[in-house]
Amino acid sequence: MERTELHFETLQLHVGQEQPDPTTDARAVPIYQTTSYVFRNSQHAADRFGLRDAGNIYGRLTNSTQGVFEERVAVLEGGVAGLAVASGAAAITYALQNILQAGDHVVAADNLYGGSYNLITHTLATQGITHTIVRVNDLDALEAVIRPNTKAVFVETFGNPNSDVTNIEGVSEVAHRHGIPMIVDNTFATPFLFRPIEHGADVVVHSATKFIGGHGTSLGGVIVDSGRFDWKAYPDKFPTLAKPDPSYHGAVFADVAGAAAFVTRIRAVILRDTGATLSPFNAFILLQGLETLSLRVERHVENALKVVNFLNNHPKVAKVNHPSLLAHPDHALYRQYFPNGAASIFTFEIKGGQEQAWKFIDTLEIFSLLANVADVKSLVIHPYTTTHSQLSPEELKAQHITPSTVRLSIGTEHIDDLLADLAQALEKI
């Protein structure tokens, strides 16, 4: 049966290992815990290093366990190839560094995760890469900030922490009109709920630590190449992909790797040189999570929507920031992209300020206070003083993060227990 005939729930279990392991007949994907691989002869070794023969060279670049994970995520996202790395932060950094060089410019959404925001506004800035932060759903504003040296538009499907929805189709249309790829962080949506490539994205990144793993046990990141952006149409704009690479004797990645040029260059150059490698064991653990992704996400969403309704009607809650609510400015987009619901990570505003928010958080019994999201366990944090604390007061205001803001990540516990915990904590403030 062709993959195209299979549903998501089947693909998440079988892609990359449609048949038992050929060496051991194992049904589960084995952990290939090795650093290096034997070449058949000197010519074989030379062909591997020269990109003339695809296959394993060294564990920093490829691993068979990791390979199954990469292929599976790529298929689930509708891409042509994937690359797994050590963390979501590494995936985002590599995706941007693959096409951005000193003197280039990147446009990014104003609702990014604090770490991604810092990467673009501070770390990449020290490398000579300029940026403009813009409310990307304002397509006129987006159009106005694009420059001749703009090389990427970076957005998240759902903004962090408020779960505002990005107009992926509208943003991609503007980017493509200017010959610019759009990179989408799809961590919060997951490919089960939304596939950005089908709506115009060129590259998709994930923190696999979140929903894909699902249990807060393993760090990992994934980059998925759509294979649709024509790098060779803009050789001067994207020389890393469309012009000869001096570290590979003049090979042009767009020629050597074709549709998979984007992730192939990251693996062959950036990962080779900087080494944010995913361990085989973590690849194995993330595969276990991936196999139940659809089941978990359905429960996450079911619980989240009930929590949203509870909070939205509570007298001690000033506002709930969730696109399922009719009053939310992104409600129409939410209904268009997520007809079955989404956004189990969102924020709300407690009446009062930081003192009330902290007391509420510290009084919760089931929710865990920690710096993660998308766990099967329900989580809570105060973004103003933690995940987004590096931002300036002006930046926090622009991202609608206040001292009263509380971020929830709704898990898969019984909904009655979650509502009871929220109720008792709210009663005490």
Q: What is the mean pLDDT of the chain?
A: 95
Q: What is the pLDDT of residue 376?
A: 98
Q: Is 30 exposed, middle or buried (0-12, 13-18, 19+ CB in 10 A)?
A: middle
Rounded CA separation 65/62 (Å): 9
Residue pLDDT, tens place only, 132-141: 999 999 999 9
Mean pLDDT calculated for residue range 67-89: 98
Q: Residues with Cβ < 8 Å from 349, sequence gap 6 or more?
A: 317, 318, 319, 320, 321, 402, 404, 405, 406
Sign of the CA dihedral running 289, 294, 296, 301: positive
Q: What is the CATH number assigned to the segment(s) 294-427? A: 3.90.1150.10
Residue 147 has pLDDT above 70, yes or no: yes
Token output for 370: 């920690």
Q: What angle do CA 204, 373, 224 make, to 5 degrees?
A: 15
Residue pLDDT, tens place only, 197-209: 999 999 999 999 9
Residue 391 has pLDDT above 90, yes or no: no
Q: What is the pLDDT of residue 104?
A: 98
Q: Give the three-state DSSP class for 273.
A: helix
* Domain 294-427 in the same topology as domain 3-290: no
* pTM exceeding 0.85: yes
Q: So what's the architecture of 3-290 in CATH?
A: 3-Layer(aba) Sandwich (3.40)
Rounded CA separation 348/384 (Å): 12
Rounded CA separation 200/168 (Å): 7
- Strands of 170-278 (E only): list them: 182-185, 203-207, 221-225
- C-alpha distances in angstroms, 243 versus 99, 113, 179? 12, 33, 17
Kindly state the percentage of the chain with pLDDT values over 70: 100
Rounded CA separation 76/301 (Å): 19
Kindly list the domain boundaries of the chain, sorted by start residue.
3-290, 294-427
